[in-house]
């Protein structure tokens, strides 16, 4: 199913519910089960979801509703998917880790 996310930075829970096609209480429940979904609060205490949160909620819905994962299975799959994304974005991290290691070695020699 194709989801259309409006070009905005923050979304209220009702807007997210319309985008996903689920009731707001479902989204609140998913917040308790998936710790990566942490909306901020407006001054009126209403939940505000970032675009990244909405994209992750779409993945969660697809795992639960279309691929028929359990909550714990979806949690594991999300963790695996994030691991793969980190590996894909790893060249910069590997370079930074290498530089850090080299700087620590230099520091150990100097001190």
Domains parsed from the chain with CATH numbers: 10-110 (1.10.1660.10)
pLDDT digits (tens, 9 = 90+) for 51-65: 999 999 999 999 999
To which residue do tokens 């407006």 refer? 42
Asked if 39 contacts 85 with a C-beta cutoff of 8 angstroms, the reply is: no
Q: What is the pLDDT of residue 86?
A: 58
- The model's confidence at residue 89, banded by pLDDT at 50, 70 and 90, is low
Residue (of 15, 25, 93, 92) closest to 53 by Cα position: 15
Percent of the chain with pLDDT over 70: 94
Q: What is the pLDDT of residue 82?
A: 82
- The model's confidence at residue 28, banded by pLDDT at 50, 70 and 90, is very high
d(C-alpha 55, C-alpha 65), whole Å? 15
């Amino acid at each position: 199913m194709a989801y259309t996310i409006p070009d905005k930075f923050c979304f209220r829970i009702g807007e997210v519910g319309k985008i996903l096609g689920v009731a707001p209480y479902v989204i609140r429940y998913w917040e308790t089960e998936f710790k990566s979904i942490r909306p901020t609060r407006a001054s009126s205490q209403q939940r505000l979801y970032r675009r990244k949160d909405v994209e992750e909620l779409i993945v969660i819905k697809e795992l639960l509703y279309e691929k028929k994962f359990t909550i714990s299975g979806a949690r594991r799959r999300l963790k695996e998917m994030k691991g793969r994304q980190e590996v894909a974005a790893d060249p910069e991290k590997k370079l930074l880790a290498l530089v850090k290691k080299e700087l620590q070695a230099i520091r150990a020699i100097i001190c």
